[in-house]
C-alpha cells in the first residue's frame, strides 16, 4: 500500500508485519528517507503509536551510552567513556547537580550550531565567529501530565538577516534534535 509521509510517497507496511524486523523487503518496498532521497528497503515498527522506518542503508555514526541512577533526586549519570560524569538534581532545587532539561538544552544547541555550519558550507557562507545559541527548555505540568517546551534564540552577528534566517530554517529542518522533537513539543526558533 502506498502512503504519503511528509509529502513523499513511501510504502506502508501492515501493522502485523511492523513488529517483525525480519520483514523481507522487495523492490516495491523502497522508501524515501527523511532527506527525500530514495532509501533502501526498510523494516517498519510502531513506536508510541507512530510508524518508524529503519532503512538497511542507514549508516550508524555513533551511539552514546550512559548509566543513570537515582533519577532527578540526587542521582548521577555517567557515560561509558567517562567523558560525562554528572550529579543530578531537580530543576530549581538546592542540589549541586544539573538536570535533564539543562543537558537537553546543551546537547540540542550544540547540535543545532553544527547543522547551521553544514548549511553555511553548502551555501559557501562563513558563519560569524561569535555565533551563539541560547537554549531554554521548560518543564511544564499541564493537567497532571509533564511535557517540555523549547526556545532556541540564535545570534549570528554581522550576517544579513535574510541569509541568517535561511541558515536557521535549514538547520531546524536537518538537526537531529529538531527532527526528534518535531510535532512532539512546542518549539520556537528565533533570530536575535
Span 9-20, pLDDT tens digits:
443 433 433 333
How does pLDDT run across 134-148, given as a tens digit for each residue? 999 999 999 999 999
What CATH number should be reported for the domain holding residue 74? 2.20.25.10
Domain of 38 in residue numbering reads as 2-55
- Beta-bridge mates of residue 146: 141
Distance from the first to the final alpha carbon of the chain: 45
Domains contained in the chain, number: 3
Whether the CB-CB separation of 65 and 79 falls below 8 Å is answered with: yes
24 pLDDT tier (thresholds 50, 70, 90): very low
Answer yes or no: do 144 and 165 share one domain: yes
Query: How far, CA to CA in Å, does 96 sit from each of 73, 88, 90, 104, 149?
Result: 11, 8, 10, 18, 24
Alpha carbon distance 151, 22 (integer Å): 40
Question: For position 58, what pLDDT does the model report?
Answer: 85
pLDDT in tens, 43-98: 555 555 566 666 667 899 999 999 999 998 889 999 999 999 999 999 988 888 99
Instruction: Tell whether 185 and 104 lie within a shared domain.
Output: yes
Indicate yes or no: pTM above 0.85.
no
Write the DSSP assignment of 89-106 as a string of letters. Answer: --TTSS-SSB-HHHHHHH
Same domain, 79 and 135: no
117, 186: one domain: yes
Host H or E run for residue 21: none
Extended strands (E) in 6-144: 8-11, 30-32, 38-47, 50-55, 66-69, 75-79, 85-88, 132-142
In terms of Cα–Cα distance, which of 125, 190, 181 is closest to 155? 190
Element (H, E) at 12: none
Please tell me the distance from the alpha carbon of residue 55 to that of residue 118, in angstroms, as a whole number: 23
Check: CB of residue 75 under 8 Å from CB of residue 88.
yes
Do 123 and 142 share a structural domain? yes
- 94 exposure class (CB count in 10 Å sphere: 0-12, 13-18, 19+): exposed
Residue 114 has pLDDT above 70, yes or no: yes
66-69, strands of its sheet edge to edge: 66-69, 75-79, 85-88
pLDDT of residue 121 exceeding 60, the answer is yes
Co-location of 106 and 181 in the same domain: yes
Assess whether 81 and 39 both reside in one domain.
no
Asked if the model's pLDDT at residue 184 lies above 80, the reply is yes
CA distance 108 to 3: 31
pLDDT tens across 45-56, in order? Answer: 555 556 666 666
- 35 shares a domain with 24: yes
- Determine the average pLDDT of the residues in 114-130: 97
Question: Is the same domain home to 86 and 165?
Answer: no
Asked if 116 and 178 sit in the same domain, the reply is yes
Amino acid at each position: 500500500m502506498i502512503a504519503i509521509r511528509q509529502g513523499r510517497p513511501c510504502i506502508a507496511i501492515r501493522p502485523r508485519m511492523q513488529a517483525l524486523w525480519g520483514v523481507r523487503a522487495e523492490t516495491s518496498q523502497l522508501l524515501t528517507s527523511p532527506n527525500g532521497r530514495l532509501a533502501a528497503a526498510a523494516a517498519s515498527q510502531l513506536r508510541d503509536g507512530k510508524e518508524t522506518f529503519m532503512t538497511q542503508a542507514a549508516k550508524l555514526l555513533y551511539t552514546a551510552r550512559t548509566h543513570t541512577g537515582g533519577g532527578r533526586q540526587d542521582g548521577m549519570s555517567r557515560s561509558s567513556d567517562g567523558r560525562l560524569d554528572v550529579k543530578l538534581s531537580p530543576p530549581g532545587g538546592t542540589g549541586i547537580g544539573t538536570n535533564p532539561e539543562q543537558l537537553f538544552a546543551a546537547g540540542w544547541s550544540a547540535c543545532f550550531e553544527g547543522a547551521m555550519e553544514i548549511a553555511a558550507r553548502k551555501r559557501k557562507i562563513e558563519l560569524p565567529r561569535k555565533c551563539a545559541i541560547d537554549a531554554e527548555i521548560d518543564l511544564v505540568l499541564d493537567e497532571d501530565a509533564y511535557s517540555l517546551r523549547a526556545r532556541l534564540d540564535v545570534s549570528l552577528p554581522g550576517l544579513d538577516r535574510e541569509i541568517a534566517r535561511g541558515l536557521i530554517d535549514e538547520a531546524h529542518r536537518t538537526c537531529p534534535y529538531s527532527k526528534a522533537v518535531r510535532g512532539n513539543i512546542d518549539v520556537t526558533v528565533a533570530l536575535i
